[in-house]
Copies of this chain bind each other. A is one copy, B any other.
Amino acid sequence: MMRYTHKFGQALDTVLELTVVLSEDMDRGLASHGLTVSRAHLLWALRQLGPTTQRTLADALAVSPRTITGLVDGLVATGFVTREPHPTDRRATHVSFTEHGARTVAALERGYEELAQALFAGTPAGEVDRFVASIEDLVVRLRNLTTRGHDGDQ
């Protein structure tokens, strides 16, 4: 994308290329199930939390309640989840998987594992470990930049 001629710039180019290719691959995979990234995130949170309220999902996804309303609308319309009255709190909504939703999340999990296999299978364990350590280092460096705020490059 960025096409830099400097050494570290090229390295960052490569990382960005990976992020692009990876996200395209995941988008395609999700689309083949009739899902978007945001809706899949919601399903994933629901798998981790179990049946829960929209408020809880809003916190889990770090989006507004309004956004959850829209995502759940879409997932209900496409048959992945149900919206039912909350057993104890009559203000709240209970969001649960349909059969189809549960099956789909299981399929996504399998697809994820298969992708991981396809990416790393055959690579010597030590090499994978070193690679992962390098990435974790980058994540730490990025978080430090973020914390200190580096918007002052205008």
Partner of A118, one of B17, B21, B48, B141: B141
- Bound complex: CA A8 to CA B145 (Å): 28
Q: Is the pair B131, A11 in contact by a Cβ cutoff of 8 Å? A: yes
Output the residue of A15, A21, A23 with the most chain B CB within 10 A.
A15
What count of chain A residues pass the 8 Å CB interface test? Answer: 63
Chain B residues closer than 8 Å to A12, beta-carbon distance: 112, 115-116, 119-120
Q: A118-B141, A131-B131, A134-B127 are in contact. Are A113 and B9 (CB under 8 A)?
A: yes
* Complex: A120 Cα to B137 Cα, angstroms: 10
> Within 8 Å of chain B (Cβ to Cβ): is A142?
yes
The answer to whether the Cβ of A110 comes within 8 Å of any Cβ in the partner chain is yes
